[in-house]
Amino acid sequence: MIHSSVSYLFISLCIGLTFFICSKVMDMLGPSLWDVWNSSGQAMSSEMVACIAVESLSILEKMHSRGYVHGDVKPENFLLGQPSTPQEKKLFLVDLGLATKWRDSANGQHVEYDQRPDMFRGTVRYASVHAHLGRTASRRDDLESLAYTLIFLHRGRLPWQGYQGDNKSFLVCKKKMATSPEMLCCFCPTPLKQFLEIVVNMKFDEEPNYSKLISLFEGLIGPNPAIRPINTDGAQKIIYQVGQKRGRLNVEEEEDGQPKKKVRLGIPATQWISVYNARLPMKQRYHYNVADGRLAQHVDRGNADGLLISCVASCSNLWALIMDAGTGFTHQVYELSPFFLHKEWIMEQWERNFYISSIAGANNGSSLVVMSKGTQYTQQSYKVSDSFPFKWINKKWREGFHVTSMATAGSRWGVVMSRNAGFSDQVVELDFLYPSEGIHRRWDSGYRITSTAATWDQSALILSVPKRKPGDETQETLRTSQFPSTHVKEKWAKNLYLACVCYGRTVS
């Protein structure tokens, strides 16, 4: 009881006061878990790790219950009490330099979801995937970092150690996504794997079930609290509060009997992502697997029937082409070029008041650029880069531009931004898999997908709020391994028309 109130006081102090005072408190504490790990042969027993797990869960539960996320959970930030004092087996979580609020103190609501892909804060080795991707921090992120901390302490190493260079965070995040809980925990006790599986699949605003998570580890901990390697009073208190001390749980069983939808798990896949918008009935036509030499005949025939190109994409160096009667454009030109993208040609067309209306890039670096007259754009700018150019997009947003088309060629991104694009706001969803949760949250806030592109590693979706809302805001998406030709016809029957399409990384 006394120990619990000390750590409670400590957390309140650190949250209420400055980091300086916390540093003073740190001076009064003992070694960190990293020090303990290092001085005990760079490995820890299952029981030690289980005790750390349950006690750190109780510490995080306290911190979270005050509305804060720690933001930098790692072995270096857990300290033990001073050696040879009654606190020497007591765990403390320090360094609140990256703490943020997950709950608004004014209205008690969960903070709003957002993603700013260049906003990484934390420690690369232990950061959650969502933190790497710049998503607003929430309780799930501390738990994912705790899972990596525990696995590190037990195994002595994480598979993403040792990356160097400018894109270290990208490569580490990619590795985290590609490492299944089975692979990561193959030498760990089962509860660690169960813990990891639960926390990487949590939703943004999901309330962690701390007592359930604590109970996962109970089977690894000896019955006598007095001789445990770490003091677990805090955890005992949570179990006691819940009023049920239980044995091992079967995590597959959910309270409502429904299997929990897995967010992160799944087999990486390369697929077509297609987006459909509700529209008044109109003529639309699609072509796919189009070789360079056959492009012109499809376009010419479409033009003859009053259709213009609304969207282009590429898969296996073959083009996909969507042509509509409802683009609103008056004239259109296009160019196939061996470059991604062909600057001279684009500048020439800009001179003639054509604006880029869609682009596609092939794996071999060639590109298809479509430029149209009759758009509402007043100025345009584009960028090609080796990584997703969020910084540039963010800068252009501030200058009044919005993303109006996007494509990839191999691992390179090409993004086109236009002034007067008819959007009042725009956001990005970028992930190493199809970002379903983010898309649904954005949809709920009135955003609709307006561009998509994907590499072998990542998919990106641009979502926008139109200045003029369409009468029917219905939007649907599909992911298919083949071009969705039969699906498109089914959508047409419901007055849903292909709005954008791309081929690349998803998860099935």
Ligand X SMILES: *[C@@H]1O[C@H](CO)[C@@H](O)[C@H](O)[C@H]1NC(C)=O
**What are the residues binding ligand X (CB under 6 A)?**
38-39, 166-167, 209, 211-212, 249, 255, 292, 317, 338, 362, 364-366, 386-387
Cβ-based nearer residue to ligand X, 107 or 250: 250
- Contact status, residue 19 vs residue 25, Cβ threshold 8 Å: no
Question: CA–CA separation, 132 vs 123, rounded Å?
Answer: 9
Q: At closest approach, how far in Å is the CB of 425 from ligand X?
A: 28
Cβ-based nearer residue to ligand X, 305 or 386: 386
Q: At closest approach, how far in Å is the CB of 239 from ligand X?
A: 11
Helices (H) and strands (E) in the chain, counts: 16, 19
Sign of the torsion angle spanned by Cα atoms 288, 289, 291, 292:
positive
Question: CA–CA separation, 421 vs 408, rounded Å?
Answer: 21
Q: At closest approach, how far in Å is the CB of 363 from ligand X?
A: 8
Cβ-based nearer residue to ligand X, 266 or 338: 338
Taking each helix axis as running N to C, give the angle between helix 2-16 and helix 233-242, from 0 to 180 degrees, rounded to the nearest 10. 100
Q: At closest approach, how far in Å is the CB of 290 from ligand X?
A: 10
Q: At closest approach, how far in Å is the CB of 43 from ligand X?
A: 12
Cis peptide before 341 (omega within 30 of 0): yes
Helix (H) or strand (E) holding 494, with range, is none
Distances (CA, A) of 410 to 115, 231, 240, 431: 24, 53, 55, 17
Pick the catalytic residue from 35, 72, 233, 305: 72
Helix (H) or strand (E) holding 374, with range, is none
Backbone angles phi, psi at 333, to 5 degrees: -130, 160
Question: CA–CA separation, 272 vs 320, rounded Å?
Answer: 11
- Which of helix, strand or coil describes residue 71? coil
Q: At closest approach, how far in Å is the CB of 339 from ligand X?
A: 8
Cβ-based nearer residue to ligand X, 365 or 446: 365
- Contact status, residue 202 vs residue 143, Cβ threshold 8 Å: yes
The string over 457-494, giving b where at least 16 C-beta atoms fall within 10 Å of a residue's C-beta and e elsewhere, is: bbbbbbbbbbeeeeeeeebebbbeeebbeebbeebbee
Cβ-based nearer residue to ligand X, 166 or 444: 166
Cβ-based nearer residue to ligand X, 317 or 481: 317
One-letter identity of residue 488: V
- Contact status, residue 123 vs residue 172, Cβ threshold 8 Å: no
Question: CA–CA separation, 366 vs 235, rounded Å?
Answer: 59
- Which of helix, strand or coil describes residue 283? coil
Q: At closest approach, how far in Å is the CB of 386 from ligand X?
A: 4
Q: At closest approach, how far in Å is the CB of 255 from ligand X?
A: 6
Cβ-based nearer residue to ligand X, 319 or 434: 319
Q: At closest approach, how far in Å is the CB of 305 from ligand X?
A: 26
- Contact status, residue 430 vs residue 451, Cβ threshold 8 Å: no
Cβ-based nearer residue to ligand X, 108 or 243: 243
C-alpha gyration radius of the chain: 26
Question: CA–CA separation, 407 vs 357, rounded Å?
Answer: 12
Per the annotation, the verdict on 324 as an active-site residue is no
Residue 373, classified by CB atoms within 10 Å of its CB into exposed (0-12), middle (13-18) or buried (19+), is middle
Cβ-based nearer residue to ligand X, 53 or 421: 53
One-letter identity of residue 125: R
- Contact status, residue 94 vs residue 14, Cβ threshold 8 Å: yes
Tokens of 223: 């019955």
Residues with catalytic roles: 72
